[in-house]
Amino acid sequence: MESAEPIRAWHDLYVMLGTSSAALIGLIFVAASLHLGDVVSNPAFRIRAYHATLYLLTLLVEAVLVLVPQPVGVLGAQLCVLNLIGLWAPLSTAYRYYYEDRVPSHRAGITMARTITYSVAYLIGISGAITLFESPHWGMYLVTASYTTLLVTVVLGTWAVALGTAETDRAEKGR
C-alpha cells in the first residue's frame, strides 16, 4: 500500500466532494418529489433530473474509489472504467437527441455546450486516471479537475430545472 501514499493527501477533499455529491442526490429526490407532477409530465425536467442523478452517482462512486485504500494502479484502472461509463451518458444523449430526434432536444433544453462540457470533463477524468500510473500527483489534479467541472455543471443544470419548475408553478397560478 506504499504506492497509495500520494493519494492520501487528497483524502479530506474527496470526503467533502463525496459528501456534496451524496447531499445533492438527496436534494434532487426531494425536489423531484415536491414537483413530481411537473417532472413526470415534462420530458425536459424528467430527462435532466435523471441525467443529473446519473452524473452525481458517478461522482459519488469516484469519491468512494479515491477514498478506498488501494494501490494507485488499481485506482487508475477503476477511475478509467468509471469515467468511460460516465462518458457514455452525454455521448448517447447527444446521439439520441441531436441525430435521431432533434425535436425533444429543444423541449428538454439539451444544449451542445452542456453535452460538450460533460464529455470533456469525463475525458479529463480518463486522462487523469491514465496519468495516475506514471505520476499520481498530476493524475489526481486531472481527476479532481474533472470531478469539479462535472459537479459545477450538474449544479448549474439542476438549477435550470428548478427554475423551470418554478416557471411552471407561476404559469399555473396565473391561469
3-state secondary structure the chain: CHHHHHHHCCHHHHHHHHHHHHHHHHHHHHHHHHCHHHHHHCHHHHHHHHHHHHHHHHHHHHHHHHHCCCCHHHHHHHHHHHHHHHHHHHHHHHHHHHHHCHHHHHHCCCCHHHHHHHHHHHHHHHHHHHHCCCCHHHHHHHHHHHHHHHHHHHHHHHHHHHHHHHHHHHHHHHC
> Which pLDDT value is given to residue 163?
72
> Which pLDDT value is given to residue 73?
94
6 is a domain residue: yes
> Which pLDDT value is given to residue 1?
47
> Which pLDDT value is given to residue 165?
61
> Which pLDDT value is given to residue 48?
79
> Which pLDDT value is given to residue 103?
56
Q: Per the structure block, which three cell numbers stand in for 83? A: 469515467
Dihedral (Cα; 79, 84, 89, 91), 10-degree rounding: 140
> Which pLDDT value is given to residue 84?
97
Which residues of the chain register pLDDT less than 70?
1-4, 39, 99-110, 161, 164-175
> Which pLDDT value is given to residue 100?
65
> Which pLDDT value is given to residue 102?
57
First to last CA, the chain: 64
175 is a domain residue: no
44 is a domain residue: yes
142 is a domain residue: yes
pTM, to two decimals: 0.84
87 is a domain residue: yes
> Which pLDDT value is given to residue 2?
46
Q: What is the count of structural domains for the chain?
A: 1
pLDDT digits (tens, 9 = 90+) for 92-109: 887 777 766 655 545 445
Domain assignment of residue 110, given as a range: 2-170
110 is a domain residue: yes
